[in-house]
Amino acid sequence: MNVGTSDPNLLNAAASPTDGILAPRYRAATLGMVALMSLIAFEALAVTTAMPTVARELDGLRIYALAFGGVLATSVIGMVISGRMSDRRGPAPAMWLGLVGFVGGLLVAGFAHTMALLLVGRLIQGLGAGLLSPALYVIVGRLYPEHLRPRVFASFSAGWVVPALVGPAISGLIVEHFGWRWVFLGVPLLALPAALGLRGALRSLDPPSGHADDRPGRMLNAVGASIGACVLFLAGQEHSWRAVPMLVPALAALVFCGRRLLPPGTLRAARGLPAVIGLRGLVASAFFGAEAFLPLAFSRQHGLSPVWSGLAISVGAIGWFSGSWYQGHLATISRQALLIRGTGLMVVGTIIAGLATFAVTPVPIAVLGWLTTGLGIGMVYGTVSALALSLSAPHEQGTNASALQLCESLAVASTLAIGGSLFAALLNASQTMAFGANFAITVVLALLATVVARRTNTPSAL
């Protein structure tokens, strides 16, 4: 199989081993991409804080869930479009179209005077964000030499960690002192200058050679998967056995449509690229599935205040950044060894963090477990991204970058919907059982990830 480094365009980006991602030839692109990633992350986290106020002021509680589920649904469509555009014409068209959608959606939402109009803005915003993310991955694959890509993905992780730590607090201050509209209207003021740093890099990239993936029905399957994701999100809001009639057809739609959007063999973790992409979905589901219930466990089982629960959870973001930095700058072992160690740390970490289910467990023990989980996924996440690009020919990088993010989005949505409904169904019987069942799911996912991590080498390497 050809790999991304065979692209003749990358000859222009050849770097000495001592060059870093902030070397003059890469500095503007690196800073621009990290800034955009940070803004996307901040917006996702800030809106969560602001939406209760928005729903009250616009009398929109009836469609509150759609303001979140709709974004997930349209982002799925955006990812598929972005992957196809990037493979056919290079990442620039998808990048600029995504920026227009992201900024335009924020402006519509920020100026909305009805919840319906705000929902329209959120749908446009989700489509734009879905277009942006795979395009940024393709820029990494085509602009940077292979040895620098793990460092770029480590910087992307940093771009998510800072908003995770301070985003909700800043959003709360904005809502309180300036009004909720500025949560939406402030980001475009920063996103446009950040994107300007990518102009030079994008102009230097010609369309890739080779034939892009033209499997029929991709857009139809993307629409089917997005509808399934939206229904799954709504089912998760039910938090009871009543969600089952929605969960079953939604999951069926995701499996049926999703398997046609992912590389063949992804759902069975076929060796090589399919296993790499499947691993992304497993580790993300394990991490975010645990993160969704850990603050509630700290609150209900240990009596922690929201502030202290939030601080306890933030150590996972610190661990994620540390693990990502290690894989990008300090690791001296193979990529596959990093994946095996990282998934192993996630198993240990989720087991220990899950002990928060029991009131007798000291909180610092559970926090240490969560730090270990974050360290593990940090080692895995950037490594998976770099491996996926290395295993892709230039004309496949867009489709495979899209598949990485599709697999994560659909897997996390499924895990949260199932976990939320299971939690609510068991809560009346036993609070401990409700928490324990959800943490057991995340441990199983982490264990599966350790198996799949051993299948990420290519068949030719055996």
Q: How many residues does the chain have?
A: 462
- pLDDT value at position 458? 60
- pLDDT value at position 344? 97
DSSP letter for 328, please. Answer: I
Rounded to whole angstroms, what are the CA distances from 176 to 109, 171, 173? 18, 9, 5
Question: Which residues, including other chains, have CB under 8 Å from residue 99's CB and lie 6 or more apart?
Answer: 128, 132, 191, 192, 195
| Long-range CB contacts (within 8 A, 24+) of 354-362 | 354/290, 354/435, 354/436, 354/439, 354/440, 354/442, 354/443, 356/294, 356/297, 356/298, 356/301, 356/302, 356/435, 357/297, 357/301, 357/432, 357/435, 357/436, 357/439, 358/301, 358/432, 359/301, 359/302
**pTM of the shown model:** 0.86
Owner of token pair 């969960």: 247
- pLDDT value at position 211? 60
HEC-encoded secondary structure of 375-420: HHHHHHHHHHHHHHHHCCCHHHHHHHHHHHHHHHHHHHHHHHHHHH
- What gap in Å lies between CA 90 and CA 88, rounded to an integer? 6
- pLDDT value at position 236? 67
Domains of the chain by start residue, with CATH: 4-9+20-461 (1.20.1250.20)
Which two structure tokens, joined as six digits, stand for 172? 């709360």
Which two structure tokens, joined as six digits, stand for 357? 């289910």
The sign of the torsion formed by the CA atoms of 163, 169, 174, 175 equals: positive
Q: DSSP secondary structure string, 165-225?
A: HHHHHHHHHHHHHT-THHHHHHHHHHHHHHHHTTHHHHHTPPPPSS-----TTHHHHHHHH
Cα angle: 100, vertex 172, 60; to 5 degrees: 65
- What gap in Å lies between CA 394 and CA 208, rounded to an integer? 6
- What gap in Å lies between CA 442 and CA 291, rounded to an integer? 10
DSSP letter for 59, please. Answer: T
What number of other Cβ atoms are within 10 A of residue 54's Cβ?
21
Rounded to whole angstroms, what are the CA distances from 101 to 205, 234, 366? 22, 24, 41
- What gap in Å lies between CA 158 and CA 156, rounded to an integer? 5
Owner of token pair 């894989």: 327
Half-sphere exposure of 57 (CA within 13 A, CB side): 13
- pLDDT value at position 10? 41
CA 39 to chain centre: 14
- pLDDT value at position 18? 56
- Judge residue 19's burial from the number of C-beta atoms within 10 Å of its C-beta, 0-12 exposed, 13-18 middle, 19 or more buried: middle
User: For the chain (length 462 residues), average pLDDT per consecutive 10?
Assistant: 40 54 89 90 80 84 75 90 90 93 94 92 93 93 91 88 76 84 88 85 77 71 88 71 79 89 92 95 95 88 82 87 91 90 97 94 95 96 93 89 92 86 83 92 97 81 42
> Which residue type does 250 have?
A
Cα angle: 83, vertex 326, 457; to 5 degrees: 55
What number of other Cβ atoms are within 10 A of residue 114's Cβ?
11
- pLDDT value at position 329? 86
